[in-house]
Copies of this chain bind each other. A is one copy, B any other.
Amino acid sequence: MTEAEVQERIEEMARAARAAALELALLTSEEKNAILRAMAVGLRAGAGAIVEANAKDLEAGAEKGLGKAMLDRLRLDEARVEAIAGGIDQVVGLPDPVGEVLGEWQRPNGMRLQQVRVPIGTIGIIYESRPNVTSDAAVLCLKAGNATILRGGSEAIHSNRAIAGVLQLAGGEAGLPAGAIQLIPFTDRSSVSALCRMDGWLDVIIPRGGRGLIETVVSQARMPVIKHYDGICHVFVDAAADPAMAVDITVNSKAQKPGVCNALETLLVHADIAADFLPKAAEALRAKGVELRGCERTRGLIEAVPVGEDDWKAEYLDLILAIRVVDSLDEAVDHINTHGSHHTDAIVTADEAAAERFLRAVDSACVFHNVSTRFADGEEFGFGAEIGISTEKLHARGPMGLRELTSYQYRVRGEGQLKG
């Protein structure tokens, strides 16, 4: 297709999404749940066909020379399709945020005001590889009353088309408005740019993927973008930390699952506890296979590779840990605010005043006292499901659940009040 043809197709889809959004906003929770249940049934019934479509992607991926990890992320089997359907069951069970009254008050002239949660409207989601996102994202958006346009990675196109097809067909029979869930069915690269120009119809774009993808969207999008950037997460071991707890939290934050955004990347240690804590920590970390990179003072206490300035800005997503000894809590806070990514940062201390100062001074979405950074997660927070972890400060910060997929409106009721 030419770019103009792509643009035209995307605009048709965006207009249809807007029309669907106006219908979705009027559905009751029961109506939305009935649609979701039908989708889960459809996915289970269509598991065979979805796995077959996925086989085409796997074959093409192997031919293209995709790595083993990549192919594994791409792979769907009956169990994984069941997990996707189970995800829908879970969303059915979550409370509907739409219609929640956030505030209610009366003015001296008698007007009664309500601030009420409403759907955002239309959401563009651009994502890479994992085909489960096609269902997970669309379903979460739908529960919050939003229409979605999905743009998955080209390597998963057959899987994504199969999943979206099932959701549309099964959902449609249960009352899903046409246009409520749309997948861009072609893989032309210009479709990303075209989506970014649909600010007349799309209320927001959520890119889920690597930095390159997010950068492209940020620089082109005319509508708001909810970014999910890096997690350069810190643990600060304060002078008043319990050393055993500090070791446990450090090891858990770093090594429990190193490839995710809430994993620890830089460890900051107060000078007063460093000689006691660092050798214990080093031993426990090495036992998990973690490579240690340290500042000069760190290397005076334990064996470690010298850090470069780049290490403070590194999201390793691997069994590597940068370590720095600092002289004060304020120095730790300053390091985090300067080098971190404002995602998740933790302090380990028995000193309540130090903890409170840290929590207030660190400019991050999630600030933790005496817990592992790995808890920065919508499920762990109790949101039931998450669409991601936003690194935005506006609208949605940190783990994003259903509430973060809503907007609000002011409803005002009166008896003919006029402005004097």
Contact = CB atoms under 8 A, between A and B. Distances in A.
A205 to B, nearest CB: 11
Contact of A395 (B199, B218, B395, B410): B395
Contacts of A369: 411-414
A48 to B, nearest CB: 34
Contacts of A382: 105, 107, 113
How many identical subunits does the complex contain? 2
Contacts of A337: 22
B248 A419 contact: no
Interface string A351-368: 000010001110111111
B26 A393 contact: no
B107 A249 contact: no
A375 interface: yes
B252 A394 contact: no
Interface string A152-175: 000000000000000000000000
Interface in A317-359: 337, 355, 359
Contact of A248 (B107, B355, B371, B416): B416
A343 to B, nearest CB: 11
B361 A412 contact: no
A397 B407 contact: yes
Contact of A419 (B107, B225, B226, B374): B374
Interface in A102-126: 105, 107, 111, 113, 118, 120-121
A295 B363 CA distance: 55
Contact of A371 (B111, B118, B222, B370): B111
A384 to B, nearest CB: 12
B418 A249 contact: yes
Contacts of A375: 111, 412, 417, 419
Contact of A120 (B199, B219, B393, B411): B393
15 contacts: A22-B361, A105-B382, A107-B381, A118-B363, A204-B393, A218-B222, A242-B416, A252-B419, A256-B418, A366-B410, A374-B419, A375-B419, A376-B410, A381-B410, A394-B395
Given A199-B218, A366-B412, A370-B413, 7 more contacts: A22-B363, A203-B393, A204-B394, A224-B225, A366-B409, A372-B418, A381-B410
Nearest 7 CB-CB pairings of A with B: A371-B414, A374-B419, A395-B395, A252-B418, A245-B416, A394-B395, A393-B407
